[in-house]
Amino acid sequence: MSAGGREDKNIMFRIMLVEDSRSFRQVAKFYLLSEFPSTCIIEAGDGVEALKEIDSYPPNLIFMDIRLPGENGLELTRKIKASYPNIIIIILTSHDLREVQEAATRCKADYFFNKGSIATGEIAALVKSILLEKGFKADGSTEALGLSRGKIAPLILKRRIWWEPVPEVSSYVVYVSKGRTIFEPDNFSWEATPGIILKPVIGKTEVILPDEWPEFPKEPGTYYIGITSRDDLGNQSDPFLLSGLFKFLASPAPSRGGIEGL
């Protein structure tokens, strides 16, 4: 195990790298600490080492390689999520195959990225959003961004849901649910699915929350997003499934004010 920054387990945001390649861990650790210097980075070369560290003190976020000595990263993710559902797990793989991504979703992984993107702005933006959702500053520290009667001032956090365009398709439907089972074939009936919340999207491949979708649930938590393409006759594809943590907070109150005589 190794760590970066001041190691105070009670207040630091802890990131674990589960990867058998020491050189990859070093690159990832260097990049993450350069972007988030106040975080604690823990390393594990296999599942046994990772579980031992997690049982000792669970991290907030895990970058998980799929190919590991012994138990693979998907099974390890399933096991961790069963005992620690609040740990955010990002699956890393050298293969962008859809079946691999679907397997990661079945194991309850929160995000899925190609390993080549570990030192990119996309990863940094995701980690930053997770830090803010967990009540940390963007660099990973716990210093208050603004205080009022001992409470951290609230933030406005926007999220962008995006997907790759489908050839010759310009219309999509985005669905959201608190549970994943609603998207299973026996339960999902597109617009007729009981309790589903949906958003038609025409001419683009993204939705900005909450501005463009005010009906999106406001309760913090993990939500499952299903995206379908729709042809000119109204026929829809099966949903492409995403999942992620969402938290929307109110804008801050004024910092100063008063009443004066005129």
176-220 pLDDT tens trace: 998 889 999 999 999 999 989 999 999 899 998 888 898 888 877
Between vectors from CA 167 to CA 162 and to CA 171, what angle results, nearest 5°? Answer: 55
Signed CA dihedral, 28, 128, 96, 81: sign only? positive
| pTM score of the predicted model | 0.54
Q: Which fold has domain 14-143?
A: Rossmann fold (3.40.50)
CB-count burial class (<10 Å; 0-12, 13-18, 19+) for 197: middle
The whole-number pLDDT of residue 258 equals 72
User: Quick check: 148 pLDDT over 80?
Assistant: no
Going from N- to C-terminal start, the domains of the chain cover 14-143, 159-246
Cross-strand bridge partners of residue 112:
91
pLDDT digit string (tens) for 153-174? 334 457 789 899 998 888 999 9
Q: Which of 131-135, 141-145, 182-186 has maximum average pLDDT?
A: 182-186
196 contacts 225 by C-beta, under 8 angstroms: no
Retrieve residue 77's tokens: 């993710």
Q: Could you tell me if 90 and 109 are in contact, meaning their C-beta atoms sit under 8 angstroms apart? A: yes
For residue 249, pLDDT beyond 70: no
Question: Which superfamily does 159-246 belong to?
Answer: Immunoglobulins (2.60.40.10)
Non-local CB neighbours of 24 within 8 Å, separated by 6+ positions: 65, 115, 118
